């Protein structure tokens, strides 16, 4: 306190209080200007969001006709609120179409998308709202804790996803994986016994396991983590505004709140209780 005394800061602070109050009032009433980037929606007042599959447990709940909630659905709503847009319109298309850069005129895609060099050529990506490891979702009777066991399984992969490449490069299964068009189809393959395991982003893997009534379990997760970001049309001027909004959501706890509300407890903190896939059986 000696420093304060010497500087006479106390008097200064007392005098500054009314100014500070006015300033706080200004901050509280502040709108978010162009310092964080401006957003021009394709349709005035509307945030048009495209996603791949509804329902995607935890991320898009409900049906394609009537989306009832989910992490990414609510993230879209928060984005619309922050960007001063009146409402959100949700459209669905195939994942393959999204990663070729065709968003069907939507402002952005929220579909558990990982930025890659290839995708970056046809899309622009925001700052990530998630960085998650891939996890092994397998039949509950299988304990997939090491690479050797994983290689012997019959894998199911969703086409055009980064996880398809991870299965091929990192796990390198002994038999060719079954390729399916989307995640729900992949889960159906495993449940039907035509495949043993599938690699999903961890929160999704946990959500599918919990919804499977004990038929599926998350056996392990990989060491590497992948960023998940919003995709915007290539060359979009809206990237900075969306990125700034996502950074703000991370700073003010919005992303944590969404995870708390929509994701299973086992998926939080990057699935701390789920073991890593070991490279050997020892």
Residues that bind other proteins (CB under 8 A): 1-4, 6-9, 20-21, 23-37, 115, 128, 131, 225-227, 240-241, 243-253
Q: What is the DSSP string of 110-123?
A: EEEEPP-HHHHTTE
Output 149 or 236, the one with its CB closest to other proteins.
236
Say if residue 135 is exposed, middle or buried (CB neighbours under 10 Å; 0-12, 13-18, 19+): buried
CB of 35 to other proteins, least distance (A): 3
The residue among 15 and 194 lying less far from other proteins, judged by its C-beta, is 15
Distance separating alpha carbons of residues 262 and 74, to the nearest angstrom? 9
- State the minimum distance, in angstroms, from the CB of residue 103 to other proteins: 21
User: Would you call 84 helix, strand, or coil by DSSP?
Assistant: coil
Of 6 and 281, which has the nearer Cβ to other proteins? 6
In the complex, the smallest distance separating the C-beta of residue 246 from other proteins, rounded to whole angstroms, is 7
Least Cβ distance, residue 32 to other proteins (angstroms): 5
Q: Any idea how long the chain is?
A: 282
The Cα 91–Cα 271 span in angstroms is 30
**CA-derived radius of gyration, the chain:** 22
Residues of the chain by 3-state class (helix, strand, coil), percent to 5: 40, 25, 35
CB count within 10 Å of CB 204 equals 26
Minimum gap (Å) between residue 36 Cβ and other proteins = 5
Q: Hey, what are 257's tokens?
A: 């709140």
**Closer residue to other proteins, CB minimum distance, 8 or 281:** 8
Smallest gap from Cβ 241 to other proteins, in A, equals 7
CB closer to other proteins, 8 vs 282:
8
Does residue 162 sit in helix, strand or coil?
Answer: helix
Query: Please, which residue, 66 or 269, has the CB nearer to other proteins?
Result: 269
Cβ atoms 190, 136 nearer than 8 A: no
């Amino acid at each position: 306190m000696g420093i304060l005394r010497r500087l006479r800061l106390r008097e200064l602070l007392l005098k500054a209080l009314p100014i500070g109050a006015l300033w706080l009032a200004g901050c509280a009433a502040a709108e978010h200007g162009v310092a964080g980037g401006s957003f021009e929606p394709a349709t005035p007042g509307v945030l048009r969001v495209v996603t791949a599959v509804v329902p995607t447990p935890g991320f898009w709940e409900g049906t394609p006709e009537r989306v009832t909630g989910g992490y990414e659905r609510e993230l879209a709503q928060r984005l619309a609120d922050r960007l001063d847009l009146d409402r959100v319109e949700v459209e669905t298309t195939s994942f393959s179409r999204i990663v070729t850069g065709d968003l069907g005129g939507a402002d952005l895609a929220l579909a558990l998308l990982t930025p890659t060099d290839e995708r970056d050529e046809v899309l622009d990506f925001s700052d990530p709202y998630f960085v998650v490891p891939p996890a092994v979702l397998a039949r509950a009777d299988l304990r997939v804790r090491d690479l050797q066991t994983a290689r012997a399984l019959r894998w199911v992969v969703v086409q055009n996803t980064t996880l398809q490449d991870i299965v091929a490069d990192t796990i390198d299964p002994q038999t060719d994986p079954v390729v399916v068009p989307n995640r729900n189809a992949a889960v159906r393959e495993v449940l039907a016994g035509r495949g043993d395991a599938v690699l999903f982003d961890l929160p999704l893997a946990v959500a599918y396991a919990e919804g499977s009534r004990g038929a599926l379990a998350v056996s392990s997760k990989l060491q590497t983590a992948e960023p998940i970001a919003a995709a915007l049309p290539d060359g979009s001027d809206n990237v900075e505004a969306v990125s700034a909004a996502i950074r703000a959501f991370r700073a003010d706890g919005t992303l944590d709140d969404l995870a708390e509300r929509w994701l299973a407890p086992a998926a939080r903190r990057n699935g701390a209780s789920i073991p890593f896939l070991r490279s050997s059986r020892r």
